[in-house]
Amino acid sequence: MKLLVVALAALILAPAAAHAQTNSPDPFLWLENIDAPRSMAWVEQQNARTAKRLESDPRYAVFHGEALAIFTAQDRIPDPRFRAGGIDNFWQDGQHVHGLWRHATLASYRMVAPQWETLLDLDQLSKAEGKNWIWKGATCLKPEERLCLVRLSNGGSDAVEVREFDTRTKAFVPNGFRFATGKQSLAWLDSDTLIVGREWTPGEVTQSGYAYVLKIVKRGQSPREVFRGKPTDVSAQPIALYGPDGRTDGIVVRRGVTFFQSEFSLLADNGPVRIPLPLKAEYQDHVAGRLVFALKEPWRGFKAGALIAYDLAELERDPAAARPQLIFQPRPRQAVQDVRASKDRLIVDLLEDVKGVVDVYGFADGRWSVRRLDLPKDANINLVDAADQTHRAFVEAEGFLDPTSLWFVDTASEETVKLKQLPPRFDASKDLVEQYWATSADGTKIPYFVIRPKAAPLNGSTPTIMYGYGGFEVAKPPIYLPEMGKIWLERGGAYVIANIRGGGEFGPAWHEAALREHRQRSFDDFAAVARDLFKRGITSPRRLGIYGRSNGGVLMSVSMTQHPELWNAVVIESPLIDMLRYNHLSAGGSWMGEYGDPDKPADRAFIARYSAYQYLKPGMHYPEPYITTNTRDDRVHPGHARKFAARLQAMGYPYLYYEQTFGGHANDADPELNARRWARHYTYLAEKLMD
């Protein structure tokens, strides 16, 4: 009875305690100063303590070796990108940690062992220039695609340096286009002309740190401004519209008013001209003379989730008179995942009940026709790349227990050919995949996947990792995770993906259901899945651990503080946690459409109800979390993770903290770093859930 009274008192006092902390000074604000000596000394101390604990565990070396073998394996599928009639690939392994940008003919790529030609060796470049160059891609001038704008990040941050590269001479172009490090977007207009969005003068960026001014840059001439958004915007980005011959047919400007609201304009000689669209719409591609958009809200008789097309010529003549045409309207359990153009065809990657299918649309005689591609069933399908000057495309198919396969697609004939198959990285013969539905607090049915040993007893004893994200309309379908299978499943563990609201599993409505003041629904969904696992006997609180990163870090920290009784391990990676200051940290200002604006009293009130940094309370029995981030993460500020750990420390709670000093938000900039990262994760999880 006494315990019940204490528990009820804690629940009653929780909102008041959280409110008090939101109005008190932040004693750990100094940890937001990323590279300050005091901050880095704290990081070094934390890293040493955590490394001593986890890396001295005998399992760490084993897990590290298994992960490194997977990440550096020579029989991985080389990720293909169409360029110049052949295939580009960026490759990293144990000998090429920074990586090789390389090229092969299409005929060679289709062979078991392609003959690669190295274009740029980033290990050599890093050594020569004394930098830690991380590859961020290249944009090449059509139709020849010889000249490319290469994006390089020093340390893995989103900010990149851009240099013009000649793929024929395999060298940077002397006196070619070059732009200093920054968050920037560029597109070719012709061989001597670019349209560029960047920080042209110091401080000329939005609150989120992105460009809002676009300029035309011609060789040897001063840049000419063609578009100016507002400092209160998220960003402004140029989109060049290339025809099938590679010529530029026009320019669209995307002005990000908020993260989910955009204005699209055609850039005409007399300035930008708005395209009639709702604010919640996203540009997809340019095909058959038409601009394709995805609607994220109902508009003009179209439902949310619809794909629509505008005739470019009609827009150029009179935008007000142009009429959009429906391409596809998803059903309630469908969601558009990706859209790509392949010459005069449109490829649409769909989820149906959180499993992938691909449709190809053609346009003729004023109407759209559709054919479904013959691809593996009950799998996740990813569009890898599509050639905009031919009917060629690549797609990947994968499942939790099915290694990734690469398929070559002819979008004209709808022919599909399996080109490459990843060898199994773990023994999946003893495992099975199940899909269940949990009932959330408001009665909504929440789907989730369970991957577990067939022989696992349903008595709550199976060590289980549950993953969640639940934000930004990002779906989490079946995926082949070789390191998880090798390190966790083979040792008798189970893995769960909870497809909670806030994600994109069922389109815009599934996302909208957990926006802003409705965020608690995603946390309730996650807890409901855990309870459903217990009910089915799959696992128990003693054996259940949770993992999430980025937006999933909000989910993990809130789950830890709201429901500490449901789990025994919590991995919080690259997280947002201090939700009352997130909009002032790194790119946080761009996400207020997702979470709300904590500087507005009404929004601050509902954010304060869950913000885990302020929600921590004394006298609780929190599971010991493992908190990890990256010093060079310029998307989600490392201060979130640092301050949460510091507050736990000050309150006397156990925790582990580790901060990788390079790699950026993705944390996988090189295979060795990634192997150490996952070895620490799984060592912690094994200690908590298997011991």
pLDDT digits over 5-49, tens only?
333 333 333 443 444 455 678 999 999 999 999 999 999 999 999
Residues 6 or more apart whose CB falls under 8 angstroms from that of 470 comprise: 498, 500, 501, 502, 503, 514, 522, 525, 526, 551, 552, 555
C-alpha gyration radius of the chain: 25
User: How far apart are the C-alpha atoms of 668 and 42, rounded to whole Å?
Assistant: 23
The CATH number of residue 612's host domain is 3.40.50.1820
Q: What is the predicted pLDDT for the residue at 246?
A: 85
- CA 78 centroid distance within chain: 20
With beta carbons less than 8 A apart as the criterion, state whether 589 and 206 touch. yes
Residues 6 or more apart whose CB falls under 8 angstroms from that of 568 comprise: 541, 542, 543, 544, 545, 623, 688, 689
For residue 158, give the DSSP letter. Answer: S
Mean pLDDT for the stretch of residues 394-423: 97
Of 7-11, 32-36, 111-115, 157-161, the range with the lowest mean pLDDT is 7-11
Q: What is the predicted pLDDT for the residue at 3?
A: 33
What is the full DSSP assignment across 112-141? SS---EEEEEHHHHHHHHT--EEEEEEEE-
Q: Alpha helix (H) ranges present in 466-550?
A: 482-487, 508-512, 520-535
Q: Alpha helix (H) ranges present in 191-308?
A: none
Cα–Cα distances (Å) from 451 to 494, 503, 542, in that order, read 6, 20, 19
The pLDDT > 90 percentage for the chain reads 94
User: How far apart are the C-alpha atoms of 57 and 206, rounded to whole Å?
Assistant: 46
User: How far apart are the C-alpha atoms of 559 and 448, rounded to whole Å?
Assistant: 17
In a domain, 163, yes or no: no
Q: What is the predicted pLDDT for the residue at 21?
A: 55
Q: Alpha helix (H) ranges present in 308-434?
A: 312-317
Strand 625-630 versus strand 569-573 pairing type: parallel
Q: What is the predicted pLDDT for the residue at 378?
A: 87
Mean pLDDT for the stretch of residues 52-75: 98
Q: What is the predicted pLDDT for the residue at 10?
A: 35
**Could you tell me the strand order of the sheet in which 625-630 lies?**
431-439, 445-453, 494-498, 464-467, 544-549, 569-573, 625-630, 656-660
If we measure between CA atoms, which residue out of 635, 660, 629 comes closest to residue 158?
635
In a domain, 361, yes or no: no
Tokens 């690469």 identify what position? 406
User: How far apart are the C-alpha atoms of 123 and 562, rounded to whole Å?
Assistant: 46
User: How far apart are the C-alpha atoms of 321 and 104, rounded to whole Å?
Assistant: 47
Tokens 């060049």 identify what position? 240
User: How far apart are the C-alpha atoms of 25 and 281, rounded to whole Å?
Assistant: 40
- Give the pLDDT band of residue 669 (cuts 50, 70, 90): confident
Q: What is the predicted pLDDT for the residue at 666?
A: 83
In a domain, 431, yes or no: yes
Residue 221's CB is within 10 A of a number of other CB atoms, namely 10
Residue 1 has pLDDT above 90, yes or no: no
39 catalytic, yes or no? no
Q: Of all helices (H) and strands (E), which one includes residue 561? A: helix 551-562
pLDDT digits over 218-235, tens only?
999 999 999 999 999 999
Residues 6 or more apart whose CB falls under 8 angstroms from that of 169 comprise: none
**Helix, strand or coil for residue 54?**
helix
Tokens 């005689």 identify what position? 365
List the structure tokens of 589: 């200002």
Residues 6 or more apart whose CB falls under 8 angstroms from that of 136 comprise: 151, 152, 153, 160
List the structure tokens of 613: 């940094």
In a domain, 234, yes or no: no
Tokens 């569009």 identify what position? 383
Q: What is the predicted pLDDT for the residue at 332?
A: 93
Mean pLDDT for the stretch of residues 69-89: 97
In a domain, 254, yes or no: no
User: How far apart are the C-alpha atoms of 574 and 80, rounded to whole Å?
Assistant: 28
With beta carbons less than 8 A apart as the criterion, state whether 487 and 63 touch. yes
In a domain, 51, yes or no: yes
Mean pLDDT for the stretch of residues 182-206: 97
550, 557, 590, 611: the catalytic one is 550
Residue 2 has pLDDT above 80, yes or no: no
Mean pLDDT for the stretch of residues 461-483: 97
* Three-point CA angle 355, 479, 450, nearest 5°: 80
List the structure tokens of 353: 């009940």
Q: What is the predicted pLDDT for the residue at 4?
A: 33
In a domain, 155, yes or no: no
Strand segments, DSSP code E, in 422-549 are: 431-439, 445-453, 464-467, 494-498, 544-549
* Three-point CA angle 165, 169, 171, nearest 5°: 40
391, 640, 665, 681: the catalytic one is 665
With beta carbons less than 8 A apart as the criterion, state whether 562 and 523 touch. yes
Of 20-34, 244-258, 317-331, 502-516, the range with the lowest mean pLDDT is 20-34
Residues 6 or more apart whose CB falls under 8 angstroms from that of 443 comprise: none
Residue 135 has pLDDT above 60, yes or no: yes
Domain that holds residue 641: 38-68+425-689
User: How far apart are the C-alpha atoms of 257 and 643, rounded to whole Å?
Assistant: 30
Residue 244 has pLDDT above 90, yes or no: no
User: How far apart are the C-alpha atoms of 147 and 608, rounded to whole Å?
Assistant: 50
Mean pLDDT for the stretch of residues 151-161: 96
If we measure between CA atoms, which residue out of 99, 163, 157 comes closest to residue 126?
99
With beta carbons less than 8 A apart as the criterion, state whether 128 and 121 touch. no
Specify the number of domains making up the chain: 1
Mean pLDDT for the stretch of residues 355-362: 97
- Give the pLDDT band of residue 167 (cuts 50, 70, 90): very high
- What average pLDDT does the chain have? 95
If we measure between CA atoms, which residue out of 52, 62, 53 comes closest to residue 483?
62
pLDDT digits over 64-73, tens only?
999 999 999 9
Q: What is the predicted pLDDT for the residue at 235?
A: 97
185 catalytic, yes or no? no
Q: Of all helices (H) and strands (E), which one includes residue 608? A: helix 601-608
For residue 79, give the DSSP letter. Answer: P
In this prediction the pTM is: 0.93
In a domain, 295, yes or no: no
With beta carbons less than 8 A apart as the criterion, state whether 252 and 259 touch. no
Strand 569-573 versus strand 544-549 pairing type: parallel
Residues 6 or more apart whose CB falls under 8 angstroms from that of 676 comprise: 64
What is the full DSSP assignment across 290-322? EEEEEESS-BTTBPTT-EEEEEHHHHHH-TTT-
User: How far apart are the C-alpha atoms of 226 and 230, rounded to whole Å?
Assistant: 14
Residues 6 or more apart whose CB falls under 8 angstroms from that of 664 comprise: 134, 153, 155, 156, 157, 158, 630, 632, 633, 634, 635
